[in-house]
Amino acid sequence: MNLSDQRNLSMLVDFYELTMGNGFLGNGCGKKIAYFDMFYRKAPDNAAYAIAAGLEQVIQYLNQLSFSEKDIAYLKSKNLFCEEFLQYLRNFHFSCDVWAVPEGTPVFPGEPILTVRGEAMQAQLIETMILLSINHQSLIATKANRIVTAAQGRPVMEFGSRRAQGYDGAVLGARASYIGGVAGTACAIADRDFQIPALGTMAHSWIQLFDSELEAFRAYAKIYPDDCTFLVDTYSVLHSGIPNAITVFKELESQGHKGKGIRIDSGDMAYLSKKARKLLDDAGLPYIQIVASNSLDEYIIRDLIMQGAKIDSFGVGERLVTSKSEPVFGGVYKLSAVENNGKIIPKIKISENIVKITNPSFKTLWRLFDNESGKALADVLTLYNECIDDSQPYEIFDPVHTHKRKILTNFTAKKLQVPIFQNGVCVYTSPTLPEIQAYCKEQLETLWEEVKRFENPQTYFVDLSPELWQLKQNMLNQQFT
């Protein structure tokens, strides 16, 4: 789905990106080549990693980035911008280089998810949309995968449209959820535009509109005889909902049809699902599925399964589409280098908060895979012109206990970022959404289970090459001498 088809999003910028661009131009440095990295500092929900998502929307934005006369008139009315800058925007043509990790890639704190090289005015101007797109969808894809993991192979459906943070949150939240592994969505427009299977049952209002629950079920079954899932908790799950559902399922059988399932949307899901399963099985309906919904998340689903709940699939809404437990993905966009006469000059941001100190220069992100198990052993950031020779042993340092080191052998080194734009021209073909979902699942299987656990996950090795580490130390020392 291309949101720019409905709206011109070029002005979805922080105002300081415009005032800085005007200032860059006024100081003669607007065309200076700059490098920016987009990365995050801490994974949501105290996890070890996040799942990168939202790149396709960044590509769409950059492909259509232009400024209308209405935009120019608005900026002119602010009496802040010089005519030369307004003319620059009027004739704007995106010309940066962009690299990014493919959507669905597990990424760790401090790693560049996306890197931009280009004129400072342009590279700064696109900050907001890069962060908005990748932060939001990476957050939801990560949450979705935690929930899917907790379900242990049982399908999870995204039911969050009505609780999402606005309509873009609903639609793109469904997209990100699918990347994270959900089987379908309740959001019809996400099916239309992204081909995410649209799924749904019925609301309590359907049942309340009829004189009785039994009549409501029969009316629904008449319309959808081979695709009916009955909501059984409008009145009483055990005393009316399931008995009435069984009555109609047996009637369908006598007519040569098979119902699909029941949905429980309240109460003690573990207890009710066990009782429901026994009632259905005793009635000769072992094929009827039990769906659970109502404020579920990864922890509740995990506990339900541990308690022996007889639930076949889950519908997850607000706690998924808003990532309720931690609703902000703290991705940032920081300058890492500039060019001076073709030479790359590294830049660093220093802070009293150590986690906010950036890694300088133009870099390459590598993932090292064990050749025997196929598992990811470590990630390494190097300077752009370095190459990791995987035919030789490679030394990495423990990210927590920096005095400890590990020698890796028999591994394959793979660059994680791929070219997206070259001189403003998109050179990347976006995979289909099912391909992204499959890739995400494949990449997650390369992570050790200890890294993926919910509580106290094992810290994954993310190291700097000796050359990059030394550059960073030298720059830090220079600032304090």
CATH of the domain at 43: 3.20.140.10
Residues paired with residue 40 on neighbouring β-strands, in sequence order: 331
**Contact predicate 304/146, CB 8 Å:** no
Q: Output the pLDDT for position 3.
A: 45
Instruction: Tell me the per-residue pLDDT of 81-122, one tens digit each, with 9 for 90 and over.
Output: 999 999 999 999 999 999 999 999 999 999 999 999 999 999
The letter for the amino acid at 164 is A
Q: Output the pLDDT for position 201.
A: 86
Residue entry with tokens 């890197």: 115
Is 173 a member of any domain?
no
Q: Output the pLDDT for position 375.
A: 98
Whether residue 124 is found in the same domain as residue 16: yes
Whether residue 133 is found in the same domain as residue 214: no
Q: Output the pLDDT for position 6.
A: 56
Q: Which helix (H) or strand (E) holds 184?
A: strand 184-185
Is 193 a member of any domain?
no
Is 51 a member of any domain?
yes
Whether residue 95 is found in the same domain as residue 225: no
Q: Output the pLDDT for position 480.
A: 66
Q: Output the pLDDT for position 400.
A: 56
Output the pTM of the full model: 0.95
Tell me the backbone φ, ψ of residue 338, rounded to 5 degrees.
-135, 165
Closest CA to 316 of 337, 336, 330, 302: 302
CA distance 104 to 421: 19
Supply 225's token pair: 């005889």
Is 181 a member of any domain?
no
CA distance 224 to 244: 17
Residue 212's domain spans which residues? Answer: 201-316
Q: Output the pLDDT for position 481.
A: 58
**Contact predicate 53/103, CB 8 Å:** yes
Cα 456 to Cα 49, 252, 459, distances in angstroms: 12, 50, 9
CA distance 34 to 257: 65
Is 341 a member of any domain?
yes
Q: Output the pLDDT for position 30.
A: 87
**Contact predicate 260/232, CB 8 Å:** no
Supply 347's token pair: 């830049």
The letter for the amino acid at 211 is D
CA distance 175 to 157: 12
Closest CA to 4 of 66, 89, 96, 70: 66
Instruction: Tell me the per-residue pLDDT of 419-440, one tens digit each, with 9 for 90 and over.
Output: 999 999 999 999 999 999 999 9
Is 136 a member of any domain?
yes
Closest CA to 35 of 360, 430, 440: 360
Could you say which residues of the chain have pLDDT below 50?
Answer: 1-5
Is 443 a member of any domain?
yes
Supply 21's token pair: 């661009």
Greatest extent of the chain over all pairs of C-alpha atoms, in Å: 87
Q: Output the pLDDT for position 101.
A: 98
Helix axes 83-90, 15-26, angle to 10 degrees: 120
